[in-house]
């Protein structure tokens, strides 16, 4: 059976509303105008530090305030779970993959503490045998090291990576593993412009796609 590693935000969960809320809590505290939900989705993907840098730049706050604002943002992050939803069909897809004997993991640029917090809140943490966040190593995606670490923690077997973004596509490419692109997340480019093995827009199709890829590669 396969080792299947998932990105989190924009792939399994839509967390933009919660991130939007804590970002604006920080900005209001600074006396700044709020950012929009659309901006929030656009800023997500490269980790909390990059998100805060983009948020700060959008409101003309100097780079010298980065560390302070980052600390304020992260302090709110573990509790940013109430508005987060799973994408349709995610839980059923995870259950089907587990029933088929696949081992599942998480590799996200979200810090590991809020990653664990939101998965626990959604009662999804038990599906995953390993979780790697944006601060689990000294580097984060698109560096392939966290993805390699996640696969290594899952033991032996074929490797598949599932994600939604340009960052995920680059990570899969650099790691040299098949990449399954979920098209309904936070991607910033057209599907055809992103390197991927297969693309899907419905999690009901995921188990079948996994089976097809494994059979086609004669690795099951």
Known catalytic residues are 7
Helical ranges in the chain per DSSP H: 16-29, 37-43, 48-58, 66-77, 90-99, 112-121, 145-153, 166-175, 206-216
* Distance (Å, whole) CA 200 – CA 131: 23
3-state secondary structure of 131: strand
Burial of 139 (0-12, 13-18, 19+ CB in 10 A): exposed
Contacts (Cβ under 8 Å, ≥6 apart) of 10: 41, 44, 45, 163, 164, 165, 182, 185, 186, 187
Cβ–Cβ under 8 Å, residues 203 and 88: yes
**Rounded to an integer, what distance in angstroms lies between the CA atom of residue 141 and that of residue 60?**
27
Which residues partner with 161 through β-bridges? 5, 179
Pairwise CA distance, residues 183 & 199, whole Å: 7
Distance CA 139, CA 126 (A): 26
């Amino acid at each position: 059976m396969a080792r299947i590693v998932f990105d989190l935000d924009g792939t399994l969960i839509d967390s933009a509303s919660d991130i939007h809320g804590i970002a604006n809590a920080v900005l209001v505290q600074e006396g700044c105008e709020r950012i929009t939900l659309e901006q929030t989705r656009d800023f997500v993907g490269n980790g909390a530090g990059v998100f805060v840098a983009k948020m700060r730049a959008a409101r003309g706050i100097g780079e010298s305030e980065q560390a302070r604002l980052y600390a304020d943002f992260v302090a709110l992050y573990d509790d940013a779970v109430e508005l987060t939803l799973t994408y349709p069909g995610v839980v059923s897809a995870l259950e089907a993959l587990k029933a088929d004997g696949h081992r599942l993991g998480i590799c996200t640029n979200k810090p590991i503490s809020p990653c664990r917090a939101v998965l626990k809140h959604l009662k999804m943490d038990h599906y995953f045998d390993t979780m790697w966040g944006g601060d689990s190593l000294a580097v984060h995606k698109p560096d392939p090291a966290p993805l390699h670490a996640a696969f290594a923690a899952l033991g032996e077997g074929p490797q598949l990576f599932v994600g939604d973004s340009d960052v995920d596509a680059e990570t899969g490419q650099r790691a040299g593993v098949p990449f399954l692109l979920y098209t309904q997340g936070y991607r910033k480019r057209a599907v055809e412009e992103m390197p991927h093995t297969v693309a899907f827009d419905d999690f009901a199709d995921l188990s079948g796609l996994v089976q097809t890829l494994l059979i086609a590669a004669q690795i099951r």
